[in-house]
A and B are shown apart, each in its own frame.
Chain A
Amino acid sequence: MNDNNSCTSVFLIGVGGQGILLASAILSQAAMLCGCDVKTNEVHGMAQRGGTVIAQVRYGKKVYSPLVTEGSARVLCSFEAAEALRAAHYLAPDGLAVVNQYQIIPVSVSSGMATYPEHVEELLKKQFPRLCYFDATQKAIEIGNPRTANVVLLGALSKGLELEESVWEEAIRKTVKPQFIEINLKAFAAGRATVQ
């Protein structure tokens, strides 16, 4: 069973500190500006201490569950390369996967208790027929602030959604602090340009 027809689900995953909650806030704002009902869910508390962080956004005419049903997300966006695999089962078969090439090595790997998968790109290509895999962190550095990688990714994932292009700028202006609006608009445009 897939998502009910009137709802769009987006699943974001990454590691604590990558700005996932801001990306989720901008996306929610954009959906609201389009007149949609919106529900989101975020992970707080213990998991934020270096752990996997998840944000889920659902919008449409009427949204009931704030949680995305496995196998139904229109877009899966992973802020870290390999983490995309952890949430792959949330993506709909024809959904778009936007994945940052940036890798974050967890303590479990550094202390020799676990390994980081070797051929991440191959695994991703095998898993996701519609994959947008690029180094959003590098793009953000080129733009002038590595912390805007989240909005670069948001720009890319916006291509997988049907929200009007014009609402994104307003959503960014309404959500980020005034001094960061311009750089985030640049970041968004750079991300959006990576998806054909």
Chain B
Amino acid sequence: MKELLSGNEAIARGAYEAGVRVAVGYPGTPSTEILENVQRYKDKIYCEWSPNEKVAFETAAGACLTGARSIVTMKHVGLNVAADPLMTLTYVGTEGGFVAIVADDPGMHSSQNEQDTRNYARFAKIPILEPSDSEEARDFLVTGLDISEKFKTPVILRTTTRVSHSRSLVELKERIEHVPQGFKKNPPQYVPIPAWARPMRQRVEKRLLALTEESSNSPLNRIEWGERQLGIIAVGIAYQYAKEIFPEASILKLGWCYPYPDKLIREFAAGVKRLLVVEELDDFVEEHVKALGIPCDGKNIVPNIGELSPLRLMEIRAKIEGTAIPEHKPIKDASLLPPRPPVLCPSCPHRSIFAALGRFDVVVTGDIGCYSLGVSAPLNRMDTILCMGGGISMAHGMKIAGETKRVVGIVGDSTFFHSGITGLLDIGYNKSAPVIIVADNRITAMTGHQDNPGSGKTLMGDSAYQASITDFAKACGIKRIFTIDPHNFNAMVALLKESFETPEPTVIIALSPCVVDDRSALRPALKIDPTICKHCKMCLKVGCPAIESMDNTIKINPLLCGGCKLCQQICKFGAIS
């Protein structure tokens, strides 16, 4: 039976069919739906949201050493967090198949950078597979687990946003069980103390040679001969665009690009007059082709920034053929449109935090989550973002550097558990005095409401201990700890004022549920009384999508308003009720 599945759904299906026992990860667009869909097979596959990618990676590594087929999922920046276990698991090796599924985001649809995960494969000397549609996403996971077991190596399955979030037809198959044999004690294999790590290091190089041979013979890489005038090496989803725009060309389709399939590359290059490498982001394959002594076109005409698309390939074709580059820009009248960037939802508890911070001249170091949207106008109340947990540590750094303004670090509940705790420990240990606000809505909201150690529920649907941020803060040596409902705007402002006047670190847990996740937190819509409203527009400064203003009228859209009353508290004339 064929089903129309997204790449992420297909990977989850692959985990089921391949007999995977353990599937773990941390949410991150565009990878999140993989584990959400694995959850449908929870009677066969143990699955969990781990506190962060490093923990998830290590969990899957432990599971695979018992012989259980294991996968770990994350977005590209998550692999930075998990890079430490990755770089040594490559030495230790695997027993049950181990595949790390890493979703890149060329074009930065929902990310802070667009790093190319393929570089990690070369860095760690392990195979990386790149599907170009959903059927391949499922198949490549299955193949990746086989490769992992055959060569005792971790494998990376790299998707991109367009692979993860595009749907295509997948023929479903039955599950094949792989029963783990249990952990077998073997310290020289699993303990990389220097004496044993040195032979492991030798094994990694030998394995790499064997994998190079294998990748040339793998069905994941194939030549589709067409006309010999132009040969295209197409990697990952670029293959689909190349088939669309260069239907007559010969194509070397690479689904397993590292270790590089040298034999196949040489054979293909020898069979075509002109060679072009089409890959998203870095010149990962192109550089190697050139190192083999084969001249080719690549990043001289293929963009290395942003994602590719059929139109990008049409432009490349025009450059090769010396014809006019096709113009398909947005029409002129599109410039009349108001921008529609993502904004905090109506009744979002985070809005009140930023509105309150707007009353003070402070520096705000931010973090990755819905609250990142506090940077946008009209709130304008975030000054830096680096990475998850970074809001806390950067606030510490600014204070010890002698920043004269008060510094506020923002973190969410999920990012606090992810990597905020260690930063807070530093503040307690090395004594700086920022104000840390934990925007605690009890859910990992931005990626679509995944549970986390604070939400009291697991991915398997079981109830769980709710980790206490207050207890963590106490254990880190913080004495001023407050929990407040941020919807109480005046109390929020008063607490901030008092905290800014204290030479001690403060943790403010701004606790209120995400209203999109927990609809019971919604209240009846408010109304503006036009006879009282003075059009001072103060309510518009909180950037609520429910408050609409055009042609000098201000009204609250009853379909959008969730009754949080922030605007009511801000209105000086009592016009909102």
Contacts and interface: CB of A to CB of B under 8 A. Distances in A.
Interface of A: 1, 4, 15-16, 28-29, 32, 37-52, 63-71, 82-83, 85-86, 88-89, 105-117, 123, 126-127, 146
Contact of A41 (B165, B448, B543): B165
Contacts of B4: 28-29, 32, 38, 40
A41 B314 CA distance: 20
B29 A109 contact: no
A108 B338 contact: yes
Interface in B156-180: 162, 165-169
Contacts of A32: 2, 4, 169
B314 A1 contact: yes
Nearest to A90: B328
A88 B162 CA distance: 22
A72 B57 CA distance: 43
B261 interface: no
A89 to B, nearest CB: 5
Contacts of A63: 168
* Residue of A52, A69, A117, A126 with highest tally of chain B CB at under 10 A: A69
Given A38-B4, A43-B109, A47-B110, A15 B340 contact: yes
B166 A46 contact: no
Contacts of A45: 29-30, 109-110, 446-448
B50 to A, nearest CB: 20
Given A46-B29, A49-B345, A106-B545, 6 more contacts: A44-B30, A64-B240, A65-B244, A83-B340, A108-B339, A108-B341
9 contacts: A43-B109, A51-B341, A64-B241, A65-B240, A85-B331, A85-B333, A88-B330, A105-B549, A114-B338
A47 B337 CA distance: 17
Interface string B345-377: 100000000000000000000000010010001
A112 B311 contact: no
B214 to A, nearest CB: 27
Contacts of B345: 49-50
A122 to B, nearest CB: 10
A95 B109 CA distance: 28
A107 B167 contact: no
A32 B168 CA distance: 10
A15 B33 CA distance: 21
A44 B244 contact: no
A64 B334 CA distance: 29
Contacts of A113: 377-378
A113 B340 CA distance: 12
Contacts of B243: 64-65
A66 B166 contact: yes
B342 A112 contact: no
Given A41-B166, A106-B340, A111-B543, A49 B370 contact: yes
A45 B344 CA distance: 13
B540 interface: yes
B545 A69 contact: no
Given A45-B110, A123-B336, A50 B165 contact: no
Interface of B: 2, 4, 6, 29-30, 33, 109-110, 133, 162, 165-169, 240-241, 243-245, 247, 309-311, 314, 326, 328-331, 333-334, 336-345, 370, 373, 377-378, 446-448, 537, 540-541, 543-545, 547-550, 554, 559
Contacts of B340: 15, 50-52, 83, 106, 108
Contacts of B338: 82, 106, 108-109, 114-116
B169 A110 contact: no
Nearest to A146: B559
Contact of B310 (A38, A44, A65, A123): A65
A36 to B, nearest CB: 10
* Residue of B169, B338, B543 with highest tally of chain A CB at under 10 A: B338
Contacts of B247: 4
A52 B309 CA distance: 19
Contacts of A85: 331, 333-334, 336-337
Given A50-B345, A52-B340, A116-B338, A89 B378 contact: no
B405 to A, nearest CB: 26
B344 A127 contact: no
* Residue of A65, A71, A126 with highest tally of chain B CB at under 10 A: A65
A107 B545 contact: yes
A110 B2 CA distance: 47
Contacts of A28: 4, 167
Contacts of B29: 44-46
Contacts of B378: 107, 111, 113
Given A40-B4, A108-B341, A67 B309 contact: yes
Given A1-B326, A49-B373, A50-B340, A110 B549 contact: yes
A90 B324 CA distance: 19
B515 to A, nearest CB: 12
Contact of B543 (A44, A67, A107, A115): A107
Nearest to A124: B333
B162 A70 contact: no
Contacts of B6: 42
Nearest to A7: B244
Return the 6 tightest CB-CB contacts between A and B, nearest first.
Answer: A70-B328, A45-B29, A45-B110, A66-B166, A114-B338, A49-B342
